[in-house]
Amino acid sequence: MKKIKAFEEVHKIYDQCKKCDLHLLPYKKVISNNNINGKIMLIGEAPGQTEQNVGIPFVGKSGELLRFTLTNNGFKANDLLITNTVACWTGIGNPKPLDKQIEKCFDRVLMLTMIIEPKVIIAVGKIAYETILKYFDNDLDYITFQNMEGDIIKIKLYKIFHPSYILRDNSKKNDWIEKIKKIYREIYQLF
Ligand code: SF4
């Protein structure tokens, strides 16, 4: 119940958010895939056009590749809480979100992490990984985090290529899949 209320609070803050200039674009906010029971948090870069149409992250072409590869290699869809460093589409051509935009939006990810208390975070792409290292206390392999009760928890951190990179350079696909399989083997021992 506490979790649901806290999650609704995140939506209340960010559904109408005007904290950065991305709010000037007339697009829907993409907060997360709403899976408050997710044990594995995936953090990508920014929603794309398809995502902002439906308000759910990673549902476009690259998102489909990522979701298919994860579930095809053992991950359960119900275990995944998916979000991005920013909640607004950055516009035509998907320019990278600016540091000042991420800075305004990443509190949302910190709040989600506090609510969900995932056992694992997977950074999807370089921007997400660098952002995580910047905003979370970490030792590269683990994030240290304070939950809603004030307890310090440790979250295992992984990084993988962004699926849009795999779509552009298919030669990396096998390595990418092997990495996802390796993560699966390691993390499902934690549950
Ligand atoms: S990107 Fe985040 S901070 Fe910026 S307007 Fe959208 S919801 Fe608000």
pLDDT tens digits, 25-62: 888 999 999 999 999 999 999 999 999 999 999 999 99
Beta bridge partners of 156: 120, 142
pLDDT value at residue 191: 75
Residue 6 per-residue DSSP state? H
Reading the block at residue 68, the tokens are: 């298919």
pLDDT value at residue 190: 74
Percent above pLDDT 70 for the chain: 100
Domain of residue 112, CATH code: 3.40.470.10
Total domain count for the chain? 1
Q: Could you tell me the pLDDT band of residue 147, with boundaries at 50, 70 and 90?
A: confident
Using one digit for the tens of pLDDT, what is the confidence trace for 64-121?
999 999 999 999 999 999 999 999 999 999 999 999 999 999 999 999 999 999 999 9
User: Domain range spanning residue 109?
Assistant: 2-187
85 lines ligand 1 (CB under 6 A): no
CA dist 169 to 52, 59, 166, Å?
25, 20, 5
Q: Which of 12, 18, 105, 110 for mutating ligand 1's site (highest number of atoms within 8 Å of CB)? A: 105
Beta bridge partners of 68: none
Please identify, by atom number, the ligand 1 atom nearest to the C-alpha of residue 86: 1
171 Cα to the center of ligand 1, angstroms: 34
Residue type at 135 in one-letter notation: Y
36 Cα to the center of ligand 1, angstroms: 21
